[in-house]
Structure 1
């Protein structure tokens, strides 16, 4: 083998190794609150272009994330093992029915609290299977499946249950690191009436019974990892985040803005 071929071989091996390492870091097998920067929202902000990707659809084929027919797109991040996402599904489903002129979609991301029964995704097929399970559980919204490295998810900030509203120009007109369905619904009504949104989405936990049900479904490890990180989650979300919202001023963007 020539020196050039040897060099090319090792370059490819290094790239493969780094890709595998990034994949494993993203798809953590044990949840830790330290793995999330919950004090600062890292996702795209209102008034900026919404990231667009060609993604797999849970029912087959591919589509552009921003190729939607409605007046707006309401995009929520979610997974089977995210109690917040699961606890909000019925309310989001009601919003879906209430606004037939708006497109709604879920971006299936990594498992928030993987366990023995619903482990971290080891392959694209694993991820697709979990997304299919979600879709089969009376999910009304279109379900996109992110790639195994979470490329789209990370472009949107990497939070387990963030939500975004995108206008027909591909611009973000509302964003929140945690979905508060009541606020999301009010934001959508304001936007449809031609008004800018200037709302604060306070963090709202789901009922303990919902969290217990979802974490038990995840299997061994899901509950214990969550409880271990619970004090930090409470401090960062119910205290620090809400203080940050109290002091801050939301960015209000016109519903038909160009970016």
Structure 2
């Protein structure tokens, strides 16, 4: 993986320091909706490294399709900076090697201790739960709510992809709703 300016990076580079790693892409409305609150949490915790792993596009379309090469993927990641992202952005390779190793979930967040142990996993990033874990050192109740996407960022993320991205989101909505109902209270936020 590389930084947005092309420098090679590995998660081992963050050993000895706690870090928060969130997966996301510019066509993922829920991810784009978390940028502002996650930046605020990062500002409140300067001792923790806050990272965004840029993965495949959640909802590719005719305007922004699947990434053709690393330069294309990096260009797409720059949209997060235009949305106000201040955390360090890491670009996964085209095969999604790290994303697949982490379970391929979109918009999930891992809190990792200085020795590299995942202390907390938030399957659908819910900034209040991340803040509570970092502030109190304990996981919130598993039944907490998932943050719904904010209309402005969600609309912009789908516009990046185009009409096909919107169609893709609409097609996947029923399965996503079923998934959330099935997992409610079962790992939305959990400690391994």
TM-score of the aligned structures, taking structure 1 as reference length: 0.68
Aligned match for 1:242, one of 160, 184, 189: 184
Distance 1:70 1:97, change over 3 A: farther
Q: Once superposed, what is the RMSD of the aligned Cα atoms? A: 2.2
> Is contact 1:173-1:197 (8 Å) kept?
no
The residue aligned with 1:227 is: 170
Q: Distance in 2 between matches of 1:207 and 1:169?
A: 35
Describe the SS at the equivalent of 1:67.
Answer: helix
1:211 corresponding residue in structure 2? 154
Matched, 1:146 2:92: yes
Q: TM-score, normalised by structure 2?
A: 0.89
Q: Deviation of residue 77 (structure 1)? A: 0.2
Aligned-partner SS, 2:23: strand
Deviation at 1:244, TM superposition (A): 3.2
Q: Which runs of 5+ in 1 are unaligned?
A: 1-54, 253-259
Match runs of 1:1-259 below 5 Å? 55-68=1-14, 71-191=17-137, 196-197=138-139, 199-200=141-142, 201-237=144-180, 239-245=181-187, 250-251=190-191
- Contact 2:28-2:59 at 8 Å conserved across structures: yes
Superposed displacement of residue 68, structure 1: 2.5
Go from structure 1 to structure 2 and tell me whether the alpha carbon gap of 1:69 and 1:93 turns closer, same or farther (over 3 Å shift): farther
Distance between the aligned counterparts of 2:22 and 2:91, measured in 1? Answer: 12
Q: Tell me how far apart the structure 2 counterparts of residues 162 and 122 of structure 1 sit (CA, whole Å).
A: 24
- Taking a change above 3 Å as real, the CA distance of residues 138 and 241 of structure 1, as seen in their structure-2 partners, is same
Conserved in 2, the CA contact under 8 Å of 1:77 and 1:163? yes
Higher CA-based Rg? 1
Is residue 132–residue 140 contact of structure 2 (8 Å, CA) maintained in 1? no
Distance between the aligned counterparts of 1:114 and 1:74, measured in 2?
26
Structure 2's unaligned 5+ residue stretches are none
2:184 is paired with a residue whose SS is helix
Report how many aligned residue pairs link the two structures: 191
